[in-house]
Amino acid sequence: MNFKHLFLSLSLFLLTTFISKPSSAQALDSILVDSIRNYEFRLMGLSREMVSSFDELTRISSGKSFIINLSRALRIPNSYFYPFDSVKHIIILKSPDDLFRIMTWNVATNDEKFRYFGVIQMNPLKLEKMKDKDWYKSFYPLIDRSDSINSNTYLFTETDANHWYGAAYYKIIKTSYKKKDYYTLLGWDGADRTRNKKIAEILFFRDGSPYFGAPLFDMKKKRPFSRLVYEFNNQASMGLRYDDKQKLLLIENIVPDKPANAGNFEFYYPDGSFDALSWKNGKWEKQKGIIENPNAK
């Protein structure tokens, strides 16, 4: 069985493992800390094997066990409030309004590609205050389908949690428009041995379910983008960050090292200049001009 089939099996296992009914929130001091810590100790070892083992099958089996133990831990009442900060190789981000947290991690293949896994866990205390709380589940597993997403259309495509464009997220930015909340996610994807990717996309909830890819990136092109994906040489470091003081999304421009390499992203490098996007009228709008040194402002 090749890695792609193993990964699909692991992805489907992720989907079924995290299906659960929401439990009512209890007092914060009733968290079963000892039980969660037991799972945390297991997750610590499994995460090391999942990332560091030289054997691909060991990484996959450790990844499967990691999912099993994490899902059991997250089913414990009020586990949302447990940080899991001793578990390495997994990124945990809470939304600025504390409505949810998103966990993402990856498993490397022998050909130096990465497969991504993730889960959105809702805050039970927030859900109790919502009139439409029954629409929400406690967990939403994220299934990486990046291999099957059409590369010609994914920049303009909305996807659900079962058709996720996998990434390791490192920042959440909350914006609102006409009483609707949007969560801009900034992420990294180690595409292959020659290229890395940086990704910006918007997470939002419709009828209680998460969706990715709202067409809210106005780059002054013919149509707005649902997500921004930048590919560049895997030895380079491209800036994609949010400036809290200026309220700007800053994107470092990448260019080919020479005109003949245009379109071959393994030869793209950042040039030190930045585009700036600001949230206006319910969209991220590209501002005129470029910023040569954003750290100087």
CA distance 254 to 270: 4
Token pair, residue 252, equals 């470092």
Q: How many Cα atoms within 13 Å fall on the side-chain side of residue 32?
A: 11
**Strands, E, within 88-213: which ranges?**
91-94, 100-108, 114-122, 139-143, 159-160, 168-177, 180-189, 195-206, 209-212
Q: Which residues contact 243 (CB under 8 A, 6 or more apart)?
A: 249, 250, 294
DSSP state string for 116-134: EEEEEEE-HHHHHT-TTGG
Q: Does 248 score more than 90 pLDDT?
A: yes
Cα→Cα distances 69→72, 76, 252, Å: 5, 11, 39
- pLDDT of amino acid 260: 96
Which range, 4-13, 53-62, 247-256, has the best average confidence (pLDDT)? 247-256
Question: What's the rounded mean pLDDT across residues 263-291?
Answer: 93
Q: What are the pLDDT digits (tens) for 121-147?
A: 999 888 877 755 556 788 899 999 887
CA distance 173 to 154: 21
Between 161 and 137, the more confident residue is 161
**Residue 274 — φ and ψ, nearest 5°?**
-130, 140
Cα→Cα distances 274→16, 92, 215, 217, 286, Å: 42, 27, 21, 16, 11
Q: Does 38 score more than 60 pLDDT?
A: yes
Q: What are the pLDDT digits (tens) for 200-213?
A: 999 999 988 999 99
Question: Of all helices (H) and strands (E), which one includes residue 135?
Answer: none
